[in-house]
Amino acid sequence: MFKLIGLIISILLIIVIFLRTPQENVGLSSFATKTDILGSPSSAERFLNVLTVLGILIYFGIALTLNLTS
């Protein structure tokens, strides 16, 4: 069960990291702004920061639990 949740969290973290486009990358940032996928840039950045930190904490918790049980 924990392995499946860990896999899902890992994929979620990879997706979140790809969504965090650097400001210098004009092509991807203009696409995100024009399509308004994540709302305004400041709220989107704050949401992605919280989502990243939460995902990392959950991932570490699951990894620690799996290492202690095996």
Where in the chain are the domains? 2-69
Long-range contacts of 60-63 (CB under 8 A, 24+ apart): 62/2, 62/5, 62/6, 62/9, 63/6
**pTM across the whole model:** 0.63
Smallest Cα–Cα separation from 29: which of 51, 18, 52, 12?
18
Nearest to 20 by CA among 53, 55, 56, 49: 49
Mean pLDDT of the chain: 75
- For residue 2, what pLDDT is reported? 79
Residues of the chain short of pLDDT 50, as ranges, are none
